[in-house]
Structure 1
Amino acid sequence: MKAFMINKIKYTMLWGGVALAILGTASCKKDYEAEPLENVTIDYVFDRLDSLGINAGRYLNGLYADMFPRDVSMNRISGNLLEAATDNAIPSNLEDNPAVRLLQGQYSAFDRIESDMVWGLLYENIRSATIFINNIDVVPLNDSKFEALPTGLTVKRTWKAEARFLRALAYFELLKRYGGIPLMGDEVRSLNDKIELPRSSYSDCVNYIVSEMDAIRDSLLYYPVPNPSRNSHRVTKGAAMALKARVLLYAASPLFNGGNIDGGNPVTGYASFDNNRWQRAADAAKEIMDLGTYALVDDVRKVFTEQYNAEILFFKQWGNNRDIENTNGPFGFGTQIGGQGQTSPTQELVDAFPMADGVPIDQSSNYDLNNPYTGRDPRFYQTILYNGARWLGTNLQTYIGGQNRPGGSELQTRTSYYMKKLMGDFEEAAQYSESQRDYILFRYTEVVLNYIEALNEAQGSVPEVLAQLKDLRRRAGVDAGDDGNFGLPTNADKATMRQLIQNERRIELAFEEHRYWDIRRWKIAENKLNLPLHDMQILENGGQFTYSREEVFQPRFTTAMYLYPIPDSEVLKNNNMEQNPGWN
């Protein structure tokens, strides 16, 4: 226990608000110098005489800092976005790349991809949060010495609720990867304990997370938070409700609700389909919408570069940097400017964007194969950098041999496309500059998409589904058309609307770590990831271009890959640990 506490206290990444920014205390190093690290214990962290909760507050900071994913950069799969392991993108570097291994199933219970198969890290987070939850009550926090909270809240009550959220979030990250996992409750076991807990059922895990969110929601800050420069990153009521809604959406989805890959096995899903699970998910998302405090932001790019906006429900602080641009910006501007083009969007993602009037390209007379980037949905221009797009004061040349796709051994796009989503406004800039960045875990657009997906499945293509889709397209700048339907059919049945919603989700949430999990929970990954992915080969001749789609990468997906393998080390040391199907 002592060693664990020393490691926790050595953590010096202080998140500006949970403790230090509120309390205005001195630095972590200075405060801990009075007590040698080898003597630090739980009693020191949770001090019965500390009315300011300085050490406990720092411990809570550590929970936020260690929150999954530990690498707060969006390029967290060894420099790749998780999107590069889907049909939306591929890694530009295909050599010894974990994202490639994810795309081709090159992993096992013995040889895992630790940047995403994070069993041990998440249980470490769960244990740390439980230590806080079990011990914070002994600290005599004096509310009068803290920044005033909204009526009815106390510092101790709010801190404990935040820790319970972070613990539940870790459980959900495990649940969506592995299916049912052991629920530890409030018992804290030491590192040397022999733990023989079996996996809890998928249903029990869902119910636990949902009940936790229902229990804590009214103990949390709510949007807009007081003093956002200090508190905007903290868990709020909206965040708790959003986690509940996402958990219920996943639980209602085909992979777990009627499509259990191991039949009646309770740890891999429900034994049978229940349509009411979709209604529960719809109700949970609608409850957030009915708060009236969150809204669709007109300029989507500002969601990712400007803090304190009404779209964000919960984020992890990242700070001022240009990491996204340096890693994913187009190649060809020299080492001083940067840009490695790490992520190559696929032609499949490009084709998913409809025309400016909302009509799919395969149904539109306005789509021109010889001029494929003209007249597209405005979201295309916010998401993809393509041949001829403006960037850093030039028109990009992603044709074969062009400035931004010259060939050779240096890292560059493999598809003729670069990612634009998440990056700053650098169309006419001379070089990249640092921008405020945050890792957004929950935002309002997802809530709306969760709602209409669940509502369509629960009740069919009711008018409310169409109305919400139209609002999303209106915000995006899609042409309304003479009928005011933004290219959407007015008489679509449930199946047709399902396809529309899934595609809307694909283009709205591109590069935000949803596609990877969506194609799994929809149980369509075996269709999407066993087909070749394509690039666009562009040839230039006298200023004229010819375009042809070609195969660029062959992914592989098996039924076993719908769930990750439980680490072999966990199965060996726990006789009650059941391995996921297909990984023995």
Structure 2
Amino acid sequence: MKNQINKMLLMTIAGTALFCGCRKSETFPVDKVTSYFVFNPLDSAGAAAHGYLYQIYAIVKNGHNRVGGDYLDAASDDAVSSKSGTVQVKQIATNAVNSFNFPSGENFWEEQNATGIPSNSGTPSSYWAGIRAANTFITNIGVVPVKGQSPSGVPMRYVWQSEARFLRAYFYFELVKRYGGVPLLGDKVFSLNDNVAIPRSSFGDCIKYIVSECDAIKDSLLTYPLQLPDADNYRPTKGAAMALKARALLYAASPLFNGGNIDASNPLSGYTDFQADRWTAAANAAQDVMNLNTYKLDNNYRDIFLSQNNSELIWIRPGSITTSVEAANGPVGFPVGGTGNTSPTQELVDSYPMINGLPISDPASGYNTNDPYATFTTPKRDPRLTANIFYNGSMWLNSIVQTFEGGQSKPNSNIQQTVTGYYMHKFMGLSESGTSLVQHPTDWVAFRYADILLSFAEARNEVESSPQADVYKQLYDIRARAGIEPGAGNNYGLKPNMTKDEMRAVIQNEWRIEFAFEEHRFFDIRRWKIAEAVMNQPRTGISIVKTSSTLTFNPITVLSTAFVKKQYLYPIPYNEVAKNPNMKQNPGW
């Protein structure tokens, strides 16, 4: 495997060097580079233009601890931040934000200081900056006589152009799922003299645009498996465009936007009607990815995030090969311990079933309240619990994690430590044995095959009068890979002949436990329109008291979260509304 040490950073620096090389007496930040320097009709290699494209890639966020040092899931019901003081995810989770002060780490509309562009401090890194840069590339790359073509025979400059269109569609989707309808700019690159008082397009038009772009570019992108996987694994493929389309349609079909609009007559905040066909479209889009027959579930759940070229990955944002995730989130108390930024909640821990697939609330599951993590007894818990969360008794660095009061990893001293009795384990290297941390890729997985399977199952369940075999199969496959036992009926703990409502609850929980900390739960509880129910309950953890060899588990409240209806969408930043009379604010803000 080729060493991918901070590929995006290296690409960005290389790209900047190319721009500066055009005229050594002049340097330009990425947002001010002109076509004169980049899109050169005499540059047959297209080196400067390709460098510019790399810088657009660098605007894609890497989700590891990106929101003020925390995972976005710490603003949901799955985790809380262990940090004290002003904490961005805590502001979001407690409804302490407004259109003036929305946390910068999650303000995709007007964020500054792009990660990965250190030479241009202050460079806009918002997704609007990404859209503008993509438009610049799309409208100018045609003059560059780039040599070569893709393995499928598409001229390389059209491949690059399609990659820029993919990035633009991705940026739009990330904005739309946060803000609802946004201005659609087409291919236009606005200048200072242009009228930029553009109104927001409807939510429906935005989804239609994203879907149409994915359809238009999919056949001119590279295809999986890649001929040069080590060099090109960051590039979007046909499968990535189809996966983006599937996700956009899944969100569009979901209750928040499809019949549950928070302002029923407002086309900016969602559709103003309900159409069951939107679920059908989402199911069909997921099915199209499945029909490619090129992706499959990785046999090892942890390997998904540690191997850059496994068969489950559809599109990634590459990161460095480091132990940075461990440093920020690992349990305290070890010679090479972390700072434990992320404290998973008891609610998340309790959502993992037993290894027989039965929820711990089922009397037949075998759950033991005196050994809740099944450390000493059987049946065991879902192996994904161990893969995603450190609990008292977990193995780490050839030792046992102690999160009981006064234990090694919960010393109750003045150092930062877990506030819930748990630490995040997901994304970390295989460092259970040995005394040093194992370095590994810190890529951010934007799309993987498991979310295609769950998207299909969710959409098909909403289409069918009751869940059929095609829905059950996706859950069987995901649970089998996780290590859930098939059981006597090969049902992996799932009840046969479930109703639509029962299956919906199962699917929603499977999203939660399979994709913990991957920035799904935060948006899932919004698109399902259940955030008002789950976020107006306190976040809890566990206080474990050890007396001799006996452990007593005491539930504790760690944070009182709050959610009101307006929070289903983000506020349009105040500055945007103030300077643009056509920019309508979202309901309630």
1:206-285 equivalences under 5 Å are 206-285=207-286
For residues 458 and 73 of structure 2, the distance between their equivalents in structure 1, rounded to whole angstroms, comes to 21
Check if 1:77 corresponds to 2:67: yes
Counterpart secondary structure, 2:318:
strand
Check if 1:54 corresponds to 2:47: yes
Counterpart secondary structure, 1:207:
helix
Runs of 4+ residues over 6 Å off in structure 1: 16-21
1:368-447 equivalences under 5 Å are 368-374=368-374, 375-447=380-452
Counterpart secondary structure, 1:340:
coil
C-alpha change, 1:135 and 1:29, in structure 2 (3 Å) is closer
For residues 282 and 386 of structure 2, the distance between their equivalents in structure 1, rounded to whole angstroms, comes to 32
Tell me what 2:176 maps to: 175
C-alpha change, 1:484 and 1:106, in structure 2 (3 Å) is same
Counterpart secondary structure, 1:440:
strand
More displaced 10-residue stretch of structure 1: 184-193 or 266-275: 184-193
Cα shift at 1:122: 1.2
For residues 472 and 528 of structure 2, the distance between their equivalents in structure 1, rounded to whole angstroms, comes to 21
Cα shift at 1:433: 3.1
Cα shift at 1:307: 1.0
C-alpha change, 1:18 and 1:397, in structure 2 (3 Å) is closer
Cα shift at 1:388: 0.8
For residues 36 and 573 of structure 1, the distance between their equivalents in structure 2, rounded to whole angstroms, comes to 33
For residues 325 and 133 of structure 2, the distance between their equivalents in structure 1, rounded to whole angstroms, comes to 30
| Match among 462, 465, 472 for residue 457 of structure 1 | 462
| Match among 506, 509, 515 for residue 500 of structure 1 | 506
Tell me what 1:136 maps to: 141
Tell me what 1:548 maps to: 554
For residues 18 and 142 of structure 1, the distance between their equivalents in structure 2, rounded to whole angstroms, comes to 20
Cα shift at 1:140: 1.0
Cα shift at 1:99: 0.7
Cα shift at 1:338: 3.2
Partner AA of 1:548 in structure 2? N
1:355-370 equivalences under 5 Å are 355-365=354-364, 366-370=366-370
| Match among 511, 519, 527 for residue 525 of structure 2 | 519
For residues 141 and 367 of structure 1, the distance between their equivalents in structure 2, rounded to whole angstroms, comes to 62
Partner AA of 1:377 in structure 2? D
1:552-571 equivalences under 5 Å are 552-571=558-577
Q: Is the 8 A contact 2:306 2:440 kept in 1?
A: yes
For residues 539 and 34 of structure 1, the distance between their equivalents in structure 2, rounded to whole angstroms, comes to 66
Check if 1:480 corresponds to 2:486: yes
Counterpart secondary structure, 2:504:
helix
For residues 18 and 273 of structure 1, the distance between their equivalents in structure 2, rounded to whole angstroms, comes to 45
Q: In the TM superposition, what whole-angstrom CA distance separates every residue of 1:442-490 from its partner, at most 9, and x where no partner exists?
A: 1111111111001101113111111111111111111111111111011
Tell me what 1:88 maps to: 78
For residues 16 and 267 of structure 2, the distance between their equivalents in structure 1, rounded to whole angstroms, comes to 50
Report the count of equivalent residues.
Answer: 559
Cα shift at 1:28: 3.9
Tell me what 1:122 maps to: 127
Counterpart secondary structure, 2:541:
strand
For residues 19 and 421 of structure 1, the distance between their equivalents in structure 2, rounded to whole angstroms, comes to 28
| Match among 96, 100, 105 for residue 110 of structure 1 | 100
Cα shift at 1:35: 5.7
For residues 470 and 14 of structure 1, the distance between their equivalents in structure 2, rounded to whole angstroms, comes to 36
Q: Is the 8 A contact 1:14 1:20 kept in 2?
A: no
Partner AA of 1:428 in structure 2? S
Q: Is the 8 A contact 2:259 2:272 kept in 1?
A: yes
For residues 404 and 315 of structure 2, the distance between their equivalents in structure 1, rounded to whole angstroms, comes to 39
Q: What do you get for the CA RMSD once the two structures are aligned?
A: 1.9
Q: Is the 8 A contact 2:99 2:571 kept in 1?
A: yes
Q: Which runs of 5+ in 1 are unaligned?
A: 1-12
More displaced 10-residue stretch of structure 1: 227-236 or 131-140: 227-236
Q: Is the 8 A contact 1:20 1:57 kept in 2?
A: no
Q: Percent identity?
A: 46
For residues 63 and 250 of structure 2, the distance between their equivalents in structure 1, rounded to whole angstroms, comes to 26
In the superposition, the TM-score normalised over structure 1's length comes to 0.93
Q: Is the 8 A contact 2:19 2:37 kept in 1?
A: no
